[in-house]
Structure 1
Amino acid sequence: MTADYLHKKRVIMLVIDSLMDMPLQEAFKGGKVPALQFFSNNGHYLPNLVSPFPTMSVNVDSTLLTGVYSDKHKLPGLVWYNKDENRIVNYGTHVRELIKLGLKQSMIDVFYNLNHQHLSKQQKTIHEVLKEKGIQSASINALLYRGAFETQLKIPFLLSFVTGLNRKLKSYSPNVFSYGAMHKLNPFKKNSFCWQKYGFNDKFSANELKYLINENKLPPFTLVYFPDLDHKVHKNGRLELKGIEKVDQQLQGILNQFPSWEDSLSNTTWIILGDNGQAWIEPNKKEALIDLRQLLNSYKIAKLKKGVSSEVEIVLCVNERMSFIYTLNPQKAPLEEIAKILQKDPRIDVIALKKGETVAVTSGMHKGKLEFHPNGDLIDEYKQCWSIEGNTEILDITIKEKSIEYGDYPDALARIYSSFYSHEGNYIIISAKPGYEFIGEGSPTHVNGAAHGGLHKQDSLVSLIVCGSDSVPKNLRILDLKEWILTLISP
C-alpha cells in the first residue's frame, strides 16, 4: 500500500434503515440519543440526502454499493417481473406472498440471486473496487454485499427444512463478512436464533462491529446495517422516537469500546445515514389502501400461486407505495388504457409511461401530462440536462430561465427515467400520494403507520451525518456516495 493510503482514516458506515430528519430532530431535543447527538455535534449533519427510486432497501443498497441508479445496476425494486424467466421476483415483502410464489425459489432469490445474478456484474461494488486496490473491506448484515472472495453461507437447519434450501450456499463477499446466523465473525455471541430473525437485528450488527473493534480487526472500510428502526416506523409512523432511542443505545455500546468517545474519532471517519424515508399512511383502512386488483379488475391479473400463465394480461408488482404494472397483452391491455383508469383515483400522484426515449407522466391529482427526456437544454441542480414539455405541476418542478428546481419529488426526472431502464418489460410506474399505499394479492399493509417505495420526498429524504472528516459528498444523493467514499479510503 502507498504512503498516502496509510495516512488515511478508517471509514465506518452505519446504515440505519428509515433514519429521517424530523424524528431525529425531536430525539435530539429530548436528549435521549447521546450517540447520534455526539456524532452530529462533532461533524456535519445533512438532513436531506436523496434516496434512489423505488425507495426500497434492495434498490437503495444496490445504488449505494455501485454508485449508479437501477438503469445500470439492474435491480428494479423489492418486487418485479422477470421477463426472461416469466415470473415475479420477490425479495421479501411478506411470508404469505413468498409461500404463494414458492418458498424455495424466493429464498434462492434472496440469498443468492439478489447479489450474484440480478445485481449487474457490469457494475463493480465498492467492495470489489477496494479489493482491486489491495484494500480490505467489511460488510455486516447488509442485504447487498457482493465482493471478490468466495465464501459459504450456512443456512440454519430449520430454515433449510422449511424452504428446501441446501445447508450450504456458495457466495462471494468482502474478506471480512457477517450475514446474520449464516456467516458470523464473533464466535462467542449467539443472538442468531430464528426468534431473533437469525441475527438480522440491530443487536447482532452492533456485536459484530464491537468484535472487530476489540480484536483490532477493523479494515479500512466497514459497512454495518441496522434494520430494526424500519419495522417500528412501519408500525408507529414517521415520528417514531423509541426506535431511534433503541438504535442509539447500540451506537453508545459501540462508542464505549474506545477509551473515550472522542478517541473514536482520532483515526476513524464515521458515516451514519438512513437508506429510505417513510411516508405516513391514513388510519382509515378503506381510504388508505389502493387495491390495484379492484381498480384493474377488467383485466386478467396474474395470480401468485398459479404463476404467469398464457391467459394473463397484466402483472402487478407492488412495492408498498410504488408499483410496476406490466402488460403481457398490449392489444387487450394497452398501457395507455390502464393509465387512464388509474388517473381517476386522486390517491395516485404519479403515473409514468415510456414511449421511445420519452417518458409521459400523468396524475390522479392534476390535469394534463408532463413529457420529458434527457439531453435537452434545461439543467437541474445535479448538472443533468433535460427536455420538458407540459404540466410541470405534476412533478412539482419549477423552471427558472434554463434551471430546473425540484420540490416534492427530489431528482424526480433521473429517478423515474432510470427505473424504466432497470429491466426488460412493457410497464407503467406508479407512485401514491402520502397517506396511501398500494396492495395486491397478499401485500403487507401499514394502516395508521408508515410505508415507503414512493417518489415523494417523505419516502425519499434521509439523514446523513459525517463525523471525523471535513469532506462531504458533492451532491446529497445516495447515488454520489460511492465515489466520495473511495476518496476517503484510497489514494
Structure 2
Amino acid sequence: MIYIILIVVLVIALSLFLIGRNKANQSLESEHIDPTNKPVILLIVDSLMDNSLQQAIQEGRAPALKFLMENGHYYPDFVSSYPTMSVSIDSTLLTGKYPDEHRIPGLVWYNKAETRLINYGTAKEEIFKLGIKQVIEDQLFHLNHKHLSKQTKTIHEELANSGLQTGSINALVYRGNEPKTINLSETLANVDLMPKSVDIMTPTIFSYGAFAQYSPENKKNTQLWERYGFNDPFVTEELKSIIKNDKLPALTLAYYADLDQAVHKDGPQNHMEAIEKVDQYLQEVLDSYRSWEEALKNNVWMVMGDSGQAPVKGDKGESLISLHSLLDAYNIHKTSEPMKDDDQIVLALNERMVYIYSVDKSVKLHDIATTLQEDDRINFIAWKSNEGVQVVNSDKEGNLLFRPNGPLTDPYGQSWTVEGELSILDLKQNNNQLEYGIYPDALARLHSALHSHKGTFLIADAKPGYEFIGEGTPTHPGGGSHGSLHEDDSLVPLIVTGTDTKPNNFRLKDMKPWIEQLILGNNQ
C-alpha cells in the first residue's frame, strides 16, 4: 500500500509546484444519507497480524482493540487472497472473488493485449521507468474502471442496487455507482505528464486523500510531509467527521495504511509502537460517541488485517533473489523501454512472488522452472499445462499436478483432482479429504492467480526470509515483506462486534456475501 501512495503524493506534489494547491474539500451537509439500522464500520489495518496484535493487547498498548475484542468475537486466522498484495486483496474483499474472476492479478502484472507492464505503484524508480502518466492512469482510473472486471460487482455496487448507500475512505479499490470527477493539473496535462482530470464511479461517501476530503480538520493532514492525506490521521478525522455529522451510510470502509510501512521497515515482530498508534486513532473514533458502549450499541464494528508479512533476512546478498542473475541466459525486457522483438521474458515482481512471462515461443516455461529450481530460496514454481496446474520446487523430487473438480474435497468444500508429490504444497490426504498446511487454501488461490489474466507465464514464490529483486523494485532486508502463498503472508485477524453471525468460511473471499447479508438483514 505505501508504495502506491507514492504515486498519489507525486501527482499532487507536481501539481502544487506548478499551479498551487487544488482544493478538494467536500461538504457533508450536501450529502443526503438515508438512516439505516446498525451501520457497518469496516476498518482495514494494512499488515495487522495476530501475534503482534495479541502482544500489543497483553502489554496494555491497545485498549480500544482490547475493548472491541472483549465485547465481540475474535478470529485470528482469516485467509487472504493471492498474491498477498493490497490491490488484489482489496479486490477480493470488495467482490467476494479471487483474481480469476475479479481480474486484478497483483500490484504488478503484464498485459498481453497492450504488450506492457501494469504497475499500480511500487518503488519510485519503477514509476519513472514506466512513465508517470501511465502509472497515474493505471492507479487512478484503470484499476477500478478497466481492469477490475465489470462482470464482478463490488459490495458498493451491490448494496447500491439494493437501495443502500456506502462509503470509502482512502481505499484504492472503491468502485461504486455514483459519478465523480477528480481534477488534476491542467498545466501538467498540457505537457503530457498526467491527465487533466479523471471521471470515476464511487460510493456515496468518498474520501481519497487530498483529492476528496470532508473534514475541515484534515487541512493539517494533507501536507507534503503527511503524504497529502494518505495517512492514518487523515482517515481518523474523516471518519470522526462522518460520525459526528450523522452521515454514516449502511457500510463505511476505511483503510489504515501506516502500519504496513512500519512492518516493512522493522519486521513482523518489532512494531508495537505502530500498533499502539493505530489503537490511539481508534480511540479517537470511539470517542466520537458519548461512550464506547454507545459506539458498539449503534454500529457493527469490524477491524481486520489484509495480509501478513514474513521476515526478510538482513544480509542483502542472501535475502534478495536476483532474477536477472538467475535468468541471465534470457533477454529480459527492460522496464524503461517499449517491448522489443528480441525480448524473451518479462518480470512482474510482487515482493515475495513473481509472474515470469514468456513472450518468445521458443522459451518454454518448463525450462525457466528448471533454472529457478536451482535456487533453494524459492519455495515453489507453478504454471498452467493442458493437464492442469504443474508445481515443482527445489527441495523435493517429482512434481504436483492439480485441477478443479475431482474426488478430493478440501476444508472449503472445493473439489479437486490431485496427483504427484503432495508435500510440494504441504498437502495431506485423509481418505477423500484434503488438508492444507503452511499454504492456506493453496489450490484455489494458486489456481486463481494462474488464471487471473491472459498470457504464457509461471509463478515463483519465495520462502520466508527472502524476496525477489528486479529493476528498482522495493526491498526490505532486515524488515518484513509479503506477496507469497505462505501462511506468514496469508493469515490475518478479524475483530467483530454487534453480531453473532460469521462468514461461511474464514477467508477474505467470504467477507462480502456475509456483510451484504448482515446489512440487508438489519435493514429489512
For the superposition of Structure 1 and Structure 2, which TM-score range results when normalised by the shorter chain?
Answer: over 0.9
Q: Superposition pairs for residues 243-392 of structure 1, below 5 Å?
A: 243-331=274-362, 333-392=363-422
How far 1:356 moved relative to its partner?
A: 2.2
1:237·1:448 contact (CA, 8 Å) conserved in 2? yes
2-structure distance, mates of 1:439, 1:344: 17
How far 1:156 moved relative to its partner?
A: 6.8
2:275 maps to a residue whose letter is I
The equivalent position to 2:260 in structure 1, one of 207, 227, 230, is 230
Percent of aligned pairs sharing the same letter: 49
1:138·1:175 contact (CA, 8 Å) conserved in 2? yes
Q: Secondary structure at the match of 1:377?
A: strand
2:380·2:461 contact (CA, 8 Å) conserved in 1? yes
2:56 maps to a residue whose letter is A
Distance verdict in 2 for CA 1:34–1:188, change over 3 Å: closer
1:82-140: CA deviation from partner (whole Å, max 9, x where unpaired): 00100001011101101001111011101110111100001110000111111000000
Q: Secondary structure at the match of 1:453?
A: coil
Q: Secondary structure at the match of 1:490?
A: helix
Distance verdict in 2 for CA 1:85–1:17, change over 3 Å: same
How far 1:328 moved relative to its partner?
A: 0.6
Residue 426 of structure 2 corresponds to residue 396 of structure 1:
yes
Q: Secondary structure at the match of 1:121?
A: coil
Residue 78 of structure 2 corresponds to residue 56 of structure 1:
no
Distance verdict in 2 for CA 1:160–1:207, change over 3 Å: farther
How far 1:195 moved relative to its partner?
A: 2.1
Q: Which residue of 2 aligns with 1:409?
A: 439
Return the TM-score normalized by structure 2: 0.91
Higher deviation after alignment, 256-265 or 159-168:
159-168
2-structure distance, mates of 1:157, 1:434: 46
Q: Secondary structure at the match of 1:130?
A: helix
Residue 144 of structure 2 corresponds to residue 80 of structure 1:
no
How far 1:421 moved relative to its partner?
A: 1.2
1:297 maps to a residue whose letter is D
2:222·2:228 contact (CA, 8 Å) conserved in 1? yes
Distance verdict in 2 for CA 1:48–1:123, change over 3 Å: same
Distance verdict in 2 for CA 1:259–1:156, change over 3 Å: farther
1:141 maps to a residue whose letter is N
1:187-231: CA deviation from partner (whole Å, max 9, x where unpaired): 442111232112111010111000000000001110000000000
Q: Superposition pairs for residues 91-490 of structure 1, below 5 Å?
A: 91-155=120-184, 164-190=193-219, 191-239=221-269, 240-331=271-362, 333-490=363-520
Distance verdict in 2 for CA 1:202–1:396, change over 3 Å: same
How far 1:367 moved relative to its partner?
A: 2.0
1-structure distance, mates of 2:102, 2:214: 29
Give 5+ residue unaligned stretches, structure 1. none
How far 1:165 moved relative to its partner?
A: 1.9
1-structure distance, mates of 2:239, 2:192: 30
1:153 maps to a residue whose letter is I
1:57-83: CA deviation from partner (whole Å, max 9, x where unpaired): 000000000010000000000000000
2-structure distance, mates of 1:10, 1:366: 51
Q: Secondary structure at the match of 2:93?
A: helix
1:133 maps to a residue whose letter is S
1-structure distance, mates of 2:190, 2:61: 43
1:156·1:181 contact (CA, 8 Å) conserved in 2? no
Distance verdict in 2 for CA 1:415–1:295, change over 3 Å: same
How far 1:307 moved relative to its partner?
A: 2.4
Q: Secondary structure at the match of 1:40?
A: helix
Q: Please, what is the CA RMSD of the aligned residues?
A: 1.6
1:9·1:488 contact (CA, 8 Å) conserved in 2? no
